[in-house]
Amino acid sequence: MNHHDSPTVVAQLDALLAPFDRSDAPGLVLAVAHHGKVLYRRGVGMASLEHALANTPATRMRIGSTTKHFACLAALLLAEEGKLDVNSGIRTYVPELPLLSGDPTLVQLMTHTAGYRCFLDLAMLTQGFAMVPRGGALDAQVRQRDVNFPPGERMMYSNGGYQLLSEAIERVSGVSFESFLKHRLFDVIGMTDTDSVPDDMTVRTGMATLHVPDGKGGYRRGIFPSWEMRGEGAVVSTADDMLRWIAHLRGPKRLGTALTWQRMLTLPRYSSGVRGSYSLGLMQTPYRGVELLHHSGGVIGGSCQMLAVAEHALDVIILSNGAPVNPIDLSKRIVDTVLGDALSGADMSEPARSEGCAALCGQYYSRRTHGLHEIVDQDGKLALISFNFQPMPMPLVDIDGVLQSDAGPEGAVQVLHEPLPTRGVASHIEVVHCGHAETFARMPEIRPSPADVARMIAGSYRSGDAAADASIALEDGVLLMHLHGQLGAASYRLDPLAEDVFAFTPTDPLSLMCGVLTADCTKGGVERFWIGTWRTRHLLFTRQA
């Protein structure tokens, strides 16, 4: 697409933003550069409903997990100086961590292949949105006596891994994580409006308020539940600063050696032999004949997407403070709009139709790993609800006869099945993730009643790894689990799928935490159970007298 088409492109981009151009709702900022020139730069919606301030291209917003590649580059700059070795185990730099199923390397932390549980997932599971205190993240990681999987086996997105990486950066550099990023990265690039901001409680100049819908037509203030955000998601920036940075990503580079950038872009290989799509804080995925370099971010009340198409010198940054937008999907529409005929093929993200697939819909469980998946019909389209990979329904796309769902940074999840019966239902599915295939059996349609299973499972339990107590009781015919952490509490509805398997969902509509509870019923009662969530596996709770 040439520059003569720019007015048309601008009009099309305006149309993409039109649904968010409101004075009664939070919004977003979009900036697009093409061949080194700013093609589009606009803010829509409100930066603050409280103070009636509109978003502008100069509005500062959180970029969430897009922070992660900045943390990786910080570690590699220290490696250039010989101050750390990214192939060394994290216990070299944080020796108080327990030796569990191995000592994951810094690279494994950066590629989410370390296998450690995540402090943030544990905290939000057991205490809701209560703030994790300073030092609480490290305390939680040191407390663990089990892992999600052995280092290098597969990938599971972990904010806790980036907390540990940030801890190592601070210890070997001798300065705070915030100071290192400012002086060694942001000042060098000229990102004058960019900082690492460790909490949402301190008032900062020019920052948009984060907005969370309250379910009643209004909003709550979005506050990330930690006093100590670092490499997992602490950076605040503007669209202009991020355009400067994305241009730097494409090159030429002012930060880091050629070896550093080779390391930044090297994709990991899992124990299955499959190569992943997540390198050091950056994703590399194909789209319509071009290669995308990108990373998204999400915080409580905001989201972000950073994207570059190097071969076409296209840079895109989307910053949101609560607009109901999927920034990843929006970024692809922007690529479609700007590159036009330079792209090949169709967008393969159209969900598979559920027509003829009714036999596939249902819940499937693995007794080996305590995993749970559900295939549902959403308005005539197939979707996967996974209690393992993603708390929200994920559209299933038919790619060459294989149902596949893009689980974001953790890579594609494939759902394999035998020819569907003309009568009855499918008995099992096979789920493939990170090259590992696992069989899930259909759960029976007839479920035990909450009253029946309450006799076995009701009572009080304790988890040392979670530093939390659990109480399970039947209340007004509903089986509820109340979890009490160190600083707060969270409650969940338990829905029996079998006498020893329960799906749980939060009673707080703003919470995304859900999962599966597997009880040990070998002695006619329940003495212990395990919880599995989006980013936690096999979290043990033991009955208390």
More confident residue, 202 or 297: 297
- 347: confidence class by pLDDT, cuts 50, 70, 90: confident
pLDDT of residue 258 exceeding 50: yes
Give start and end residues of each alpha helix (H) in 326-427: 327-339
Pair (106, 250) in one structural domain: yes
Pair (332, 438) in one structural domain: no
- Distance separating alpha carbons of residues 432 and 270, to the nearest angstrom: 13
pLDDT for the residue 84: 96
Pair (249, 332) in one structural domain: yes
Pair (156, 88) in one structural domain: yes
- 3-state DSSP assignment of residue 358: helix
- Distance separating alpha carbons of residues 151 and 131, to the nearest angstrom: 29
In which residue are the tokens 């009701």 written? 458
Residue 26 placed within a domain: no
- 1: confidence class by pLDDT, cuts 50, 70, 90: very low
Pair (203, 303) in one structural domain: yes
What is the average per-residue pLDDT within 19-26? Answer: 97
- Distance separating alpha carbons of residues 33 and 352, to the nearest angstrom: 34
Residue 31 placed within a domain: no
Pair (434, 502) in one structural domain: no
Residue 348 placed within a domain: no
- Distance separating alpha carbons of residues 489 and 475, to the nearest angstrom: 17
Mean of per-residue pLDDT scores for the chain: 94
pLDDT of residue 519 exceeding 80: yes
pLDDT of residue 524 exceeding 80: no
Residue 15 placed within a domain: no
Pair (311, 385) in one structural domain: no
Domain extent at residue 492: 450-543
* C-alpha closest to that of 68 among 176, 171, 177: 177
pLDDT digits (tens, 9 = 90+) for 54-90: 999 999 999 999 999 999 999 999 999 999 999 999 9
Question: How many domains does the chain divide into?
Answer: 3
The CATH number of residue 221's host domain is: 3.40.710.10
pLDDT for the residue 114: 97
What is the average per-residue pLDDT within 264-287? Answer: 95
Pair (276, 374) in one structural domain: no
Pair (243, 326) in one structural domain: yes
DSSP string across 450-485: HHHHHHHH-EEEEETTTTEEEEEEEETTEEEEEEE-
pLDDT digits (tens, 9 = 90+) for 353-410: 989 899 999 999 999 999 999 999 999 999 999 887 777 888 999 988 899 987 678 8
The CATH number of residue 386's host domain is: 2.40.128.50
pLDDT digits (tens, 9 = 90+) for 278-333: 999 999 999 999 999 999 999 999 999 999 999 999 999 999 999 999 999 999 99
What is the average per-residue pLDDT within 498-511? Answer: 92
**Cβ contacts of residue 384 below 8 Å, gap of 6+?**
373, 374, 375, 376, 393, 394, 395, 396, 405, 413, 415
Cα-based distances in Å from 283 to 277, 292, 308, 466, 537: 6, 8, 11, 31, 24
Residue 167 placed within a domain: yes
- 4: confidence class by pLDDT, cuts 50, 70, 90: very low
> Quick one: angle between helices 159-173 and 68-80, nearest 10?
30
Pair (288, 362) in one structural domain: no
**How many degrees, rounded to 5, is the angle at CA 256 between CA 251 and CA 257?**
90
Residue 283 placed within a domain: yes
Boundary of a domain, candidates 377, 409, 442? 442
pLDDT of residue 165 exceeding 80: yes
Backbone φ and ψ for 202, nearest 5 degrees, come out as -90, 130
Element (H, E) at 54: strand 53-54
pLDDT for the residue 5: 66
pLDDT for the residue 412: 87
Pair (489, 427) in one structural domain: no
Residue 345 placed within a domain: no
Backbone φ and ψ for 65, nearest 5 degrees, come out as -70, -10
- Decide if 250 contacts 261 (C-beta within 8 A): no
Residue 276 placed within a domain: yes
Pair (400, 522) in one structural domain: no
